[in-house]
Amino acid sequence: MEVQAPAKLNLTLDVLGRRKDGYHDLKMVMQSITLADTVRLEKNGTGRVQVRSDLSFLPGGEKNLAGAAALRFYESLGQACPGINIVLTKRIPVCAGMAGGSSDAAAVLRALNQMEGEPFNPMELAKVGERVGSDVPYCVLGGTALAQGRGEELTLLPSLPRCWVVASKPDFPISTPELFARIDGCRLRRHPDTDGMLAALQAGDLGGAARRMYNVFEDVLPPRQQAKVGEIKNALIQCGALGANMSGTGPTAFGLFEQEEQARAAAKVLSRHYSDTFLAQTV
């Protein structure tokens, strides 16, 4: 079986505080887009899970979230794993704040569920995803959703009106643990208007949703990285984006466009400076 694993974007991302278990309580509005990895699965009869990718540095087996997802699926089903070969063709950039690994894992869960006669409904399958990673439950469902808790408490929302997306990833790494430590050590100066975002989605107001996009992690980026993300966002706005935001813990920044022509022109401009620039649509 071959399935697609769509990337996700954060329309909003708020950190509400650190929990006793060491995790953080989050409140995020998530959106999937047409930029996607391709995931191929085949039973191999060995009882082992093997993962291969066109990116040689990615781990294989259970150390890859896709492999872990296969094992958690059969554990939840109460059956021995028959052995699965998983082949990933990557298009979503790695360590970009777009949930590439989590989306691959979610695609494996959806594919295995179909291959085994759909023993789990979508919400049950999302619960299986909780055992793999915090973003996996959302990626199982996709579309437009409010994610709370560690990301596993999901509320499906009215779809963001279909639009064009231009996303660019600058060429530097972001340390997620470091950003969470920075969040813990400071008082955030502003938070996203999540209620306003929900109201805009309910009204089908694309412009209103775009204007309310915000990610608190932008405020705690190291200065040079913050400047680079701001540079991309400004370029997107100058090219006609209705709004721009950073996704996840970054460093990818993206803009929403109503018109395809403007989006294509923006992608052309950004790709001159950032090789990881993508043109997509919302799902």
Residues 154 and 129 sit within 8 Å (Cβ to Cβ):
no
- Report residue 10 as tokens: 């954060």
Look at the alpha carbons of 15, 16, 20, 21 in this order and tell me if their dihedral is positive or negative.
negative
Q: Describe the crossing of helices 260-271 and 223-238 by its angle, rounded to 10 degrees.
A: 140
Active site residues: 8, 135
Instruction: Using alpha carbons, list the distances in angstroms from residue 95 to 3, 7, 147.
Output: 22, 12, 20
Look at the alpha carbons of 90, 153, 117, 64 in this order and tell me if their dihedral is positive or negative.
positive
Residues 6+ apart with CB under 8 A from 102: 8, 65, 132, 133, 134, 135, 136, 138, 139
> 3-class DSSP state for residue 102?
helix
Can you list the positions of beta strands (E) in the chain?
2-18, 24-43, 49-53, 84-89, 144-149, 153-156, 164-169, 214-215, 243-246, 253-257, 276-281
Of 24, 85, 94, which is closest to residue 57 (Cα–Cα)? 94
In one-letter notation, the amino acid at residue 184 is D
Cα(277)–Cα(279) distance, integer angstroms: 7
